[in-house]
Amino acid sequence: MCKIIIQTAHNAANLKTTIAKAWHYFDATGERDGFGAVWLSPNGKLCWIKSSAPKIDSRPPRFCLGFTDHQNQDEPSNGGFLLIHGRKATCHKSATNTHPIIGHGSALIHNGIVRSETIENEETTCDSELLLLAMKDNDAQKLAEITGYFAFGMVQPTATGWQMHVAKDDTAKLFAGRNRSHGYTFGTTPDACQIGDAKTCYEMRNDTLLTFTGPRKHSTRKVPHAPPPPKPEPTKQKVWPSWESVEARDAYVNRYPRQHSNMADAESFMFADEPQEQP
């Protein structure tokens, strides 16, 4: 299971310290197949850093070993959206598959395992990309094309600025609480919320999609599910005709013309599944 920490607001001066604390926590709990983090700069740039073979040193969030991927990693934070991920790989271990998953100008982190019959990966072999593609047009109804389970955070550009989606279905765990930066923190566990500076921590409601345009300004939508497959038609049992009917008597006589010519003893054989006597 991967672990995630999401903040709608954070102390910009403590960006690297917060990321380092989160990565140390992920490392201790076994999510060490890749670390990543996403934030926004004061001038609105999307910033991220990730590695599939990270080594935590005394100067995080810089990586020393393995594949690395980053953009604007030296940019400061605007103190707004912050997403941090620790990966336990369920598919190929690489920088491309390490979260954040990047595409369509957006970035996503995810815990869970998902599949889709209608959406196909474009850039990675990681199932998490399916969620990014489902939400790339801010269309929550596309989540109905996703099966499996998920909790995710995603930052996305809009015509008026950046927004962040936070969602969980009816299976994945995600906890939430207000933090000391006058925003909200979400985490896979209560401990993760505490690392994200949460003052309180409660389990998030099932099938909830929150879209934030600020630290606390948000809208709420329900996570849709695919309609269940139709139930198969019940097998209709054969209704035998009444023995008193002409059809039953004729059927019997036609089936057993030689064995039972006497109609008086035919009733005891009408339902029998005897082989036809060969002439």
- What is the pLDDT confidence band of residue 32, given thresholds at 50, 70 and 90? confident
To which H or E segment does residue 194 belong?
helix 190-195
Q: How far is CA 254 from CA 117, 247, 273, in A?
A: 53, 10, 14
The residue assigned the tokens 């600020």 is 214
CA angle 255, 257, 258 (to 5 degrees): 130
pTM of the model: 0.79
What is the DSSP secondary structure assignment for residue 143, as one 8-state letter?
G
Q: What is the mean pLDDT of residues 126-142?
A: 95
Q: What is the mean pLDDT of residues 65-77?
A: 76
Length of the chain counted residue by residue: 279
**Count of CB atoms within 10 A of residue 183's CB?**
22
Q: What is the pLDDT of residues 178-215, one digit of tens each?
A: 999 999 999 999 999 999 999 889 999 999 999 999 99
Q: Quick check: helix, strand or coil at residue 50?
A: strand
Contact at 8 Å (CB) between 70 and 8? no
The type of residue at 99 is H
Q: How far apart are CA 52 and CA 86, in angstroms?
A: 10
Q: How far apart are CA 48 and CA 107, in angstroms?
A: 9
Pairing of strands 82-86, 101-103: unpaired
What are 29's two structure tokens?
């709990």
The pLDDT value given to residue 233: 81
Contact at 8 Å (CB) between 100 and 131? no
The alpha helices in the chain, defined as continuous H runs, are 15-29, 128-135, 190-195, 246-255
Q: How far apart are CA 90 and CA 70, in angstroms?
A: 22
The pLDDT value given to residue 188: 96
To which H or E segment does residue 27 belong?
helix 15-29
Q: What is the pLDDT of residues 107-122, one digit of tens each?
A: 999 999 999 999 999 9
β partners of residue 218: 212
